[in-house]
Amino acid sequence: MKLDRLLKSLLKTAVYLIDQTSEQVERVSDRASDVVSEAKQAVLPDDHHTLRHALSFAAGIGLGVGVGILLAPASGAEVRRSIGEKVQDIGEAIRDQFSIDTKSEASGKGTA
């Protein structure tokens, strides 16, 4: 009889300890989830992705240009000359556009 009461008491104590441990684990788990959510929000805010997207886009362009230059079938001198010509063409197009806009504003044709 005494042995039965002792075993019953030990089992109740073990169940109580397991139950208490389970509750503590749940509280710690909830707190850890909150900390992870706060850290994620601090590192990756949801409201302002524009800068991150712009930087990712610029990095992608830079990487693409770099790989393109490395894998180009032309020699380095030819690639540099080609790039220089394209930059000059773009610069001339911008200067032409700017001079057309300036001339039309000066003559009054560009204003509504």
pLDDT at 66: 80
Distance (Å, whole) CA 3 – CA 6? 5
Q: Token pair for residue 97?
A: 């556009």
pLDDT at 47: 63
Backbone angles phi, psi at 46, to 5 degrees: -80, -25
Residues 30 and 70 both lie in one domain: no
Q: Which residues of 80-92 are buried (b: 16+ CB within 10 A; e: fewer)?
A: eeeeeeeeeeeee
Q: Token pair for residue 83?
A: 């790039």
Domain total for the chain?
A: 2
Question: In which element (H, E) is residue 51 found?
Answer: helix 50-70
Please tell me the least confidently modeled range out of 9-18, 34-43, 74-83, 100-109. Answer: 100-109
For 8, the domain range is 1-45
Is residue 112 included in any domain, yes or no?
no
- Over residues 27-56, the pLDDT tens digits come to 888 888 888 888 877 777 666 677 778 888
